[in-house]
Homo-oligomer: A and B are copies of this chain.
Amino acid sequence: MRDVVIIGVGMTRFGKFLERSLQDLGREAVWNALEDAGVPPEDIQIAYVANSLAYQLTEVKGTVGQHVLANAGFFRIPVINVENACSSGSTALRGACLEVASGNYDVALALGVEKLFCDDTAKSALAMASGTPYAKFGFMFPALYSMELKKWMEKYSVTQLHFAKVAAKNSRNGSLNPNAQFRKALSVEEILNSRVIAYPLTLYMCSTMGDGAAAAIVCTRDRARRYTSKPLVHVAACELVSGTVNLPNQPHVNLEANAAGLAYQKAGIGPEDINVAEVHDGMAPAEMWIYEKLGLCKEGEAARMVDEGMTEITGPIPVNPSGGLAAKGHPVGATGLAQVAEIVWQLRGEAGERQVKNPRIGLTENAGGWVIDDNAACAVTILKR
């Protein structure tokens, strides 16, 4: 397999954009990535496009990628539309990388695009919960996270204050990110005092709906220098794991740890080599258990990580410098590629006020689906400068 590098990334700001269409958002992300890469559009040979909910919330009911890319000026390339719930964006990146690594094509585009807000917010909220038939029994995402977090709090010395600290860190990071949906730095007190959604989760700990798009352009290392003089970012691993998490009479499966294990092996590194990470904090406190699942700390040590500020932008292993899902926003199909864009900017030293000090290796963790159901997925990507 050939070495694959990311030569350009782009995204829209995430947010509530009632006046913008799926096509409009996708076009902006694609053209930002093209400009960043210095690639003329006619050199893009194939595209993988991630989307999860357009079917339910927009007029585009199929071949989402073709609709969006035609609007962006791409009419004649093969388009592969992929879906994997919240991990759809990483699934698109994985496909684009495989096309290039295998020698099928030399330059590939991965796009994630999502339009969740529509005129009827209740409809949008129901669409987001529609991935599982259990939703009608009240098993919406905050309830699920709440149950898991409570079990975890009992097992280790983790408190609601820790969760508020993580959320405060991420809102601070988000306030430094021009692409973030929420740019107000919240204090621990504001977070703890916000409305309880499902204890221990308060309003400001939860990710919300968002509209947005993010894109990455990958090509062979040999070809990259035709286009850009920026630092090349090598895709050292992009590993996808799917499946059921909990089966009766079967050992519990840890999808995040499995995906991370495969990725570390493929990249030939360990968690101690990671300098910056973007992780899937669907609810901000979940970031803490992801520290443990990725091996950034030992089991039971996540609370200490937070207390010591280890994952602040200024800490030894910054996590979610972009603000994460709760502050940056979470337009489902776009999220994985927005994580990748953030790590690329960090590795290239282009992250502005939220720049981590000289990172060489970054990681994204992008999970999707419903852990109580049959349909979870998780992708871990490792990027090297």
Show the binding face of A for B, using Cβ within 8 Å: 1, 52-53, 55-56, 59, 61-67, 70-71, 74-85, 91, 94-95, 98-99, 101-104, 127, 130-131, 133, 240-244, 247, 250, 253, 368-369, 373-377
Q: Which residue of B lies closest to A104 (CB)?
A: B98
Residue of B nearest to A370 (CB): B63
Contact B77 A242 (CB under 8 A): yes
A102 CA to B103 CA, complexed, in Å = 8
Q: Decide if A377 touches B102 in the complex (CB within 8 Å).
A: no
Given contacts A55-B55, A80-B240, A102-B102, 16 further A-B contacts (CB under 8 A): A63-B84, A63-B85, A63-B131, A63-B368, A64-B83, A66-B242, A66-B244, A66-B375, A70-B244, A70-B374, A74-B243, A75-B243, A76-B253, A77-B242, A80-B94, A83-B83
Among the interface residues A74, A77, A81, which one has the most CB atoms of the partner chain B within 10 A?
A81
Q: Tell me which residues across on chain B come within 8 A of A377, comparing CB atoms.
A: 63, 66, 78-79
User: What are 24 A-B pairs with beta-carbon distances under 8 A?
Assistant: A52-B62, A53-B62, A61-B127, A61-B130, A62-B130, A62-B369, A63-B376, A66-B243, A66-B244, A66-B369, A66-B375, A66-B376, A70-B243, A75-B244, A75-B374, A76-B242, A78-B241, A78-B242, A79-B243, A80-B84, A80-B240, A82-B82, A82-B83, A98-B102
State whether B82 touches A80 (Cβ < 8 A): yes
Taking CB atoms, residues of chain B closer than 8 Å to A62 are 52-53, 83, 85, 130-131, 369, 375
Closest-CB distance, A46 to chain B (whole angstroms): 9
Closest to A131 in B: B62
Leading 8 A-B pairs by shortest Cβ distance? A70-B374, A102-B102, A66-B375, A63-B375, A61-B130, A55-B55, A79-B242, A62-B131
- Checking B52, B63, B133, B247 against A369 with a beta-carbon cut-off of 8 angstroms, the contacting residue is B63
Tell me which of A67, A104, A240 has the highest count of chain B C-beta atoms within 10 A of its own C-beta.
Answer: A67
Whole-angstrom distance between the alpha carbons of A101 and B101 in the complex? 12
* Residues of chain B contacted by A55 (CB below 8 angstroms): 55-56
Contact, CB under 8 Å: B85 / A83: no
Contact B78 A240 (CB under 8 A): yes
Instruction: Give chain B nearest CB distance to A89 CB in angstroms.
Output: 13
A66 / chain B contacts, CB cutoff of 8 Å? 242-244, 369, 374-377
Residues of chain B within 8 A of A70, CB atoms compared: 243-244, 374-375
Cβ-closest chain B residue relative to A258: B76
Min CB distance, A378 to chain B, in Å? 10
Least CB distance from A7 to B in Å reads 21
Chain B residues with CB below 8 A from A244, complex form: 66, 70, 75-76
Are A243 and B76 interface neighbours, CB within 8 A?
A: yes
Q: In whole angstroms, what is the CA distance A23 to B297 when docked?
A: 40
User: When chains A and B are docked, how far (Å) is the Cα of A130 from the Cα of B63?
Assistant: 11
Q: From residue A374, how far is it (CB to closest CB) to chain B in Å?
A: 3
A243 partner residues in chain B, CB cutoff 8 A: 66, 70, 74-77, 79
Is B83 a contact partner of A63 (Cβ separation < 8 A)?
A: yes
Q: How far is the CA of A1 from the CA of B133 in the complex (A)?
A: 42
For A104, list chain B residues within 8 Å (CB). Answer: 1, 98, 102
Task: Look across to chain B and name the residue whose beta carbon is closest to the beta carbon of A64.
Answer: B83
